[in-house]
Structure 1
Amino acid sequence: MAPGRFRVLGPVEVDGPGTAARIPPGRQQVILGLLLVEANRMVSTETLVDALWQESPPDTARTQVQICVSRLRRSLAGAGMSAVIDTRPPGYELRLNGDTLDLADFLARTAEARVLVKEGRTAEAAALLREAAALWRGPCLGGAPNRSLHTRALRLDEDRLTCVEDHLELELELGQHHRLVGEVTRLVHEHPLRERPRALLMIALHRSGRQAEALDVYRAGRTQLIEELGLEPGERLRGLEAAILAGEVPAQPRADTVAPAPRGSDPTRPARPRQLPADTADFVGDEEMLRGAESVLVGAAARTAVGVVVITGRPGVGKSTVAAHLAHRVAHEHFPDGQLYCDLHGTDQPSVVDDVLGRFLLALGIPGPVIPDGLDARLEMYRTLLADRRVLVVLDDAATEGQVLPLLPGSSTCAVVVTSRSRLTGLPGARQVELDVLDAGQSLRLLGLVVGEHRVAREPEAAAALVRTVGGLPLALRIIAARLAARPHWTLASMVLRLASERHRLDELAHGELTIRASLGLTHDGLDRRSRLLFGLLSLTDGPVVPGWVAGAVLDDDRPFPSDLLEPLVDVQVLDVVSVEPTGEFRYRYQDILRLFAREKAEQEIPAADRAAAVSRLLGGWLALAEQAHRSVYGGDYTVLHGTAPRWRPPAGPGDPLEWMDGELENLCAAIHQAAAAGLDELCWDLAVTSVTLFESRGYLDDWERTHAEALAAVRAAGNTRGTAAVLSSLGTLHINRGRLDSSRGALLPAAELFEELGDVHGLALCHRDLALIARNTGDDTTALSLYDRSLSGFTEVDDIVGRAIVLTQRALILATNGEMAQARTDLAEAMAVHESVGYTGGAARTLNRIGQVQAMAGEHTAATTTMRRVLDMVRDTRDVIGEGQLLRNLGQVSAAAGRYAEARTYLEQALSIRERILDRTAATTIRAELAALPGQEALVPTG
């Protein structure tokens, strides 16, 4: 089993062997942070007290530190961490072994890199320093709002920045200036007064043939230094400016050197998904049963069939918990090629097998546009990918055998864990594991883990009675134990009496349901009024995970940290914390049975109008965040239509827009579905078309199609003409992505008619752009140019500068083919200026690629190669595998046209490897033909 890992280079995290320890924010995180940055050294109690209370600690400060340390020890032990917090007068020491701390790993790599630099091994040193910098996940210690930690964190953040500067400087020495311009530009933007990154950027720009821009970087820095600090630039910057003006900076390397993939990035290496949900730190279960199930999974390779374990049992018995724990026990050692996970949603809203296969194929590295339509084609691709890999598949809450059978890999090197409410006896060769309730010993052990073994030992008879009362159901026991843990002054005997009374009120219920409802009823009634209201309203969300801001939305509370509202629900274990956002906010999850109970309470206690208003604010929050994410990607409300639905503004924005949207994919899709079901048609279509920012960039074409089908039904039922036109227009774009040009035309033409009736210039411009692309793809350049002209006119009228830039980029290839090179270059220069001005990197990459293609058509092979290499670096940064394959092919074609056949072969072989890895057989066949034709080929024209 893999060792645990402590992380301080970002938010404080503890990843145990297979599970994460939850360290509550506040005092425990401060103490753990201090112990970690001073690992293997004693930290005095006075230091810890000062860190927690600064000038005025309470009289009980030392006792409270002892309590925090005790809880930390329990959390670390529960996560399986071998680290020990020793009591060493006058304080504590956290003893760590090996590479269990990311900070220690960082310091070791930077020290080794310094040695490599002295030995002249520049490439190895640069790679090691880049790896060291990549260990950071954000500001050290999560930004460390605590004053005592803040100084330490700032010092370490400075070490990271120096490490980044060091590897960038070494990489510049290695001639990688083209690839580094964007990265160094971001660094200068983040640290405008720091002179070393500015000098590196000037060198990179100069060596890339962009001397004027290099000098502009110097002048902008000088102006800022004078205005903000009253200082002139340092000697290095001044000397560099003079050297550029005098032409004395070393020239760029040869242009015929093939650009390798960045270290750590291998486009031909299969993706290794890690989708398992978190393990439970205080897991208690039948060890013999677990070993038997484990033997089925890990022994599968010795047989000819895939190993399958089916876990069944009544509600609350812990099927999902056992499945996750079992999966984590075997995942790392026996299934190193990845773990796939899907919640099939049982009989509630059962997942469609086609959609699940689409998700799995995406996770296995197949881009969305390459994933075929139809169940049979997807099954073939899925089983082909898993044929020689060791992958574990976990299918949670399956309804029938028919839902599971198509998802079984065909290879005995893989294994499958399934949970279900019913016995799936139709699965051939599956080991059936029926979970029973915990026995008395297991129940007492779980109770002791939660409330403290000393309390169980103090009241052994009451503890035994409490275990009998809840019937050994883990969920009910955890809920009751959590309430006791939150109230240390309550006796176990008093809880037995309370629970017995609640059961008498519910004696018409079945035993298992009775036990859970009785436990929940006690917990619910013990909450304060606001927490009871929140418990009910929060259950109205349809998504699988609840971000902290949702609490503020359903209560209409605009506090800056709305997750504070949820802590009372976490304390009594009716809500689970599943992860922490980069902003420090948490993400939560209801267990299904708890969500149902909470919804029942909401219907009983909260007026329908209040519930509807809460749902409207919740969905308005998703729309506001998706809107912000789109603006961040495109630089504004460009190339998208919006409606009039009210927004609710969460206190914090989405951070990295595409990463945020990717992480919220299921929630966004659920919100669109919920809006359609609630009759919020205006909100539904707006959220659906805004989410295309994610669907298109990440290739989530199934989600795009499904959400738009729901949105289209909603707007048509409501008679919403503009919404109908907007969804049809977006579906037209989807069909183009899928290569269904007739279907695209069938959606775009009626959309254009509706926009025409409404006088919606923006919508018409979007339709004309896509209709022009269809005409271009079918060889009708004349119609395409006419439609592009109409689209340009519309985008100009509504001041959609990015929409205009996209059209200019698309039509440039037609102009160049028709001999209008000057106009094509003018259009592309305008488009590039727009994309750079708004910060739309995706548009800049596409325009730059088109510039390279036009250069190649004009016979400017060296310039085309330089341009396309820049684009290659950009698409690699965005993990655009299809774009990377196309750029490598284009570079191969340009190299062949210039007579550099060896270089062309290298590029084309890299492109072929990518196409073979993603099972794109059509493109692979084309590239093989180009490779075969290389020796006698005189010219190849880059494809668009």
Structure 2
Amino acid sequence: MKELRDDIVRAGLDTLSGRKRPRSRVLLIAGQPGSGRTALAEELARQLAGEYPDGVLRARLTGADGEPVPTERTARALLAALGAPVPAGAEEDVLTAALRRALDGRRALIVLDDAAGAEQVDPLLPDESGCLVVAVSRGPLTGVPDVRPCTLGGLDTHAAVKLLERYGGHRITCDPVAAAAVAEECGSQPAALILVGGWLAARPKMSVLDVVKRLREQRPESAGRPLARAFWLAYEALPATAARTLHLLALAPAGLVDAHTASALAGCSLSTAQSLLEDFTVRGMLRTETPGGAPDGALPPQYRVPGCLTPLLRALLEAQERETEVELARARMLERTVRQLYSCRAATERDDPSVRRRIDQLPRPLRFPSPAAAGEWLDARLPALLAAARMAVEDGRLDTLARRLVSALTRALTAHLGAEAAAPELYGLHQLVLDVARRCEMPLEKAAALLNLGDLDARAGRTAEALGRYRDALQAAREADDPYAISRALESVATAHQELGDWQRAADWFRRGLELRLTRGELAEQARLYGKLGTVHTQAGQWNDALRDWRAAAAVCRRLRDLPGHARALSEAALVLEYAGRAREALRICREAAECARQSGDVRLEAMARLRLADALERRGDGAAAEQHRQAAGELLAADEPAPEVLGAARSAAPG
């Protein structure tokens, strides 16, 4: 710890001249899994937290499956932890640049655990010299400039014996020679010593010499692997049910597990699963994990499978479970997760009697006492939920469950966070749906996923990419022969062209959408699309076409007896007439719009129509009448207590 703290302030090669460091200082804690490298990094972060007022950020760079985590996913998670905007669907370079900008001027400590190599760490390094990065890895991070390595081996004998004393008590104190032999058999690795200590704590009548003997008798395949020998000693001492539950935890998404996950995997009761998880924690086989920002006890306990034990558990799973049993366990876990997500979303809809009845039909452990509790659970379990969705899609054998899970997670995120805040996660979920739809040849689901992705691209300003998505969605919708999907795709293509300023193509695509609505006799949609066409033609300066479209929209609204829609269409037609220089006709239409708005009973709509009429009168030189209408509009808005910006919006909508 002293060496690490000294390295923070020690001058590097780029600071010998006295100039300010161009990037953050990087400390490396290197060692094999089980050497205590993560524990040391966390203790360092705990001691230094007070010196970094902008907080401690954490990210794991290797997944529970042993595969490196994509850099864009890590950057997205760090941006979210900082509370910075996260661009939905952005590429790695954009996200890492956004992360560096978000850290400019801040003093934050970033812990990057289990890095596979320098290519994962280097893009995440802040340019802010006030930040500190603590990386944990197996070996050197060649390629990261001026990295300060601290390499861990095993503990010294005295420290190893002290660690055993926490579990064995007086047995260790009374037999220091045997305790030293245990430390030697464990390679003085903390993870192995903890497993042996848990075994001793569960067997108060066993001596330390018994431990030494049993370690030496372990399986031949674990020879030279102290952690494997300690694990086998602890695993073989478990009852059959507990042992099976333990190796099934290798299926836990992101290595995170709670009582519901363990219960579903093992097919046991919730109380039994919770007892087993607590016992595994005492034995050193699991680590308790408190979700960031949540106080202890505020949420159900959550545990993490240590990364050093995951390969051993996976090997056991493959050796002792049939493939069908593994698939069934995974299906039970995903089904439980879907039900939890349904309950999580339903917690926000308690005002609906039908939703309340469905919630009451759920088992009590699946219910949430309040929307706030459901939101906290969703935030705490989000890494595991996203990992479960990815795992289900990649598996390829549970596509129906995967689609249900992704759908449930999408709705829960939207209900609790809102579509805008949840957009970065929704983008990845829609991509998962697209993968399943392509694999299973489901054109309608493919069209829906492409449309959703296109909407998110368009919202993020990637209009050209969105246009490509919409065109692919249109093709898929036509394959599915679904009129709703075809209509939505046509309008989305048109909107993208409109955003790009291609008025001719936008009008052409809107007209195609209108023809489909005319064929189906959907009057409300016809009125809306006539309005879209009118807007495009107005933007293109094609006044005659725009006037024709707005008059058509007004006629359809009149057929529907939609007075507010009729008033809006008339008001827009008057605006087009103003642009076309037909002021007298525009004034007449403005009067019709104001009267129609009055008859509709929509106070704000009437006020805006009067303001537009006032502007038209003022341009005709009738200032007194214009002032009269403005006063009437002000009285209407005051009576309705509008937001302050409504009046300004109404004025800015006027021509000229």
TM-score (ref. length: structure 1): 0.50
The 1:464–1:403 alpha-carbon spacing in structure 2 relative to 1, beyond 3 Å, is same
The 1:538–1:456 alpha-carbon spacing in structure 2 relative to 1, beyond 3 Å, is same
- CA deviations 1:36-85 (Å, max 9, x no partner) are xxxxxxxxxxxxxxxxxxxxxxxxxxxxxxxxxxxxxxxxxxxxxxxxxx
SS at the partner of 2:309? helix
User: Shift of the alpha carbon at 1:535?
Assistant: 0.9
Deviating more after overlay: 749-758 vs 681-690: 749-758
Amino acid corresponding to residue 327 of structure 1 in structure 2 = A
Say whether 1:345 aligns with 2:62. Answer: yes
Structure 1 CA distance, aligned partners of 2:19 and 2:420?
Answer: 38
User: Shift of the alpha carbon at 1:634?
Assistant: 6.4
The 1:756–1:681 alpha-carbon spacing in structure 2 relative to 1, beyond 3 Å, is same
Say whether 1:543 aligns with 2:254. Answer: yes
Among 457, 460, 478, the alignment partner of 2:176 is 460
User: Shift of the alpha carbon at 1:758?
Assistant: 4.8
- CA deviations 1:105-136 (Å, max 9, x no partner) are xxxxxxxxxxxxxxxxxxxxxxxxxxxxxxxx
Amino acid corresponding to residue 574 of structure 1 in structure 2 = M
Alignment correspondent of 2:446 = 724
Say whether 1:311 aligns with 2:29. Answer: yes
Among 736, 745, 751, the alignment partner of 2:458 is 736
The 1:522–1:415 alpha-carbon spacing in structure 2 relative to 1, beyond 3 Å, is same
Say whether 1:534 aligns with 2:245. Answer: yes
Contact 1:558/1:650 (CA < 8 Å) preserved in 2? no
Alignment correspondent of 1:473 = 189
Contact 1:466/1:496 (CA < 8 Å) preserved in 2? yes
Contact 1:294/1:330 (CA < 8 Å) preserved in 2? no
Q: How big is the alpha-carbon RMSD for the aligned residues of Structure 1 and Structure 2? A: 4.5
Alignment correspondent of 1:497 = 213
User: Shift of the alpha carbon at 1:399?
Assistant: 1.8
> What is the 5 A alignment of 1:22-171?
none
- CA deviations 1:549-591 (Å, max 9, x no partner) are 0111112335467423423322212112213897853211101
Contact 1:772/1:788 (CA < 8 Å) preserved in 2? no
Alignment correspondent of 1:603 = 318
Say whether 1:322 aligns with 2:40. Answer: yes
User: Shift of the alpha carbon at 1:525?
Assistant: 0.7
Say whether 1:569 aligns with 2:284. Answer: no
Say whether 1:288 aligns with 2:2. Answer: yes
Among 549, 552, 573, the alignment partner of 2:263 is 552
Structure 2 CA distance, aligned partners of 1:715 and 1:361?
Answer: 30
Say whether 1:363 aligns with 2:81. Answer: yes
Contact 1:672/1:711 (CA < 8 Å) preserved in 2? no
The 1:559–1:697 alpha-carbon spacing in structure 2 relative to 1, beyond 3 Å, is same
Alignment correspondent of 2:572 = none
Structure 2 CA distance, aligned partners of 1:537 and 1:714?
Answer: 26
User: Shift of the alpha carbon at 1:601?
Assistant: 0.8
- CA deviations 1:652-679 (Å, max 9, x no partner) are 1466444433333322221222112211
Contact 1:524/1:532 (CA < 8 Å) preserved in 2? yes
Structure 2 CA distance, aligned partners of 1:501 and 1:359?
Answer: 45
Structure 1 residue runs without a partner (length 5+): 1-286, 638-647, 797-803, 828-850, 870-890, 899-938
Say whether 1:660 aligns with 2:377. Answer: yes
Say whether 1:714 aligns with 2:436. Answer: yes
- CA deviations 1:425-480 (Å, max 9, x no partner) are 3221221110121111211222223343x343233333222222212100000111
Structure 1 CA distance, aligned partners of 2:94 and 2:641?
Answer: 34
- CA deviations 1:340-393 (Å, max 9, x no partner) are 221111893222323322332333333334x79344444443333322111111
Structure 1 CA distance, aligned partners of 2:20 and 2:467?
Answer: 51
Among 816, 823, 841, the alignment partner of 2:564 is 823
SS at the partner of 1:368? coil
Among 278, 287, 290, the alignment partner of 1:579 is 290
Alignment correspondent of 1:624 = 339
Structure 1 CA distance, aligned partners of 2:402 and 2:4?
Answer: 45
Structure with more of its chain in helix, by fraction: 2
Alignment correspondent of 1:521 = 232
Structure 2 CA distance, aligned partners of 1:700 and 1:941?
Answer: 32
User: Shift of the alpha carbon at 1:699?
Assistant: 3.6
The 1:669–1:752 alpha-carbon spacing in structure 2 relative to 1, beyond 3 Å, is same
The 1:429–1:321 alpha-carbon spacing in structure 2 relative to 1, beyond 3 Å, is same
User: Shift of the alpha carbon at 1:760?
Assistant: 5.7
SS at the partner of 1:310? strand
SS at the partner of 1:697? coil
User: Shift of the alpha carbon at 1:518?
Assistant: 0.7
Structure 2 CA distance, aligned partners of 1:866 and 1:435?
Answer: 73
The 1:293–1:338 alpha-carbon spacing in structure 2 relative to 1, beyond 3 Å, is same
Structure 1 CA distance, aligned partners of 2:113 and 2:52?
Answer: 18
User: Shift of the alpha carbon at 1:788?
Assistant: 9.8
Structure 2 residue runs without a partner (length 5+): 353-361, 536-548, 569-601, 612-632
Alignment correspondent of 1:614 = 329
Amino acid corresponding to residue 603 of structure 1 in structure 2 = E
The 1:650–1:749 alpha-carbon spacing in structure 2 relative to 1, beyond 3 Å, is farther
**Which structure has the bigger radius of gyration?**
2
Alignment correspondent of 1:914 = none
The number of aligned residues is 541
Among 583, 589, 601, the alignment partner of 2:304 is 589
Alignment correspondent of 1:446 = 163
The 1:536–1:509 alpha-carbon spacing in structure 2 relative to 1, beyond 3 Å, is closer
Amino acid corresponding to residue 434 of structure 2 in structure 1 = L
User: Shift of the alpha carbon at 1:531?
Assistant: 0.8
User: Shift of the alpha carbon at 1:523?
Assistant: 0.9
Contact 2:261/2:333 (CA < 8 Å) preserved in 1? yes
Say whether 1:437 aligns with 2:159. Answer: no
User: Shift of the alpha carbon at 1:596?
Assistant: 1.3
Structure 2 CA distance, aligned partners of 1:758 and 1:571?
Answer: 55
SS at the partner of 1:691? helix
Q: What percent identity do the matched residue pairs reach? A: 26
User: Shift of the alpha carbon at 1:614?
Assistant: 0.7
Structure 1 CA distance, aligned partners of 2:443 and 2:206?
Answer: 61
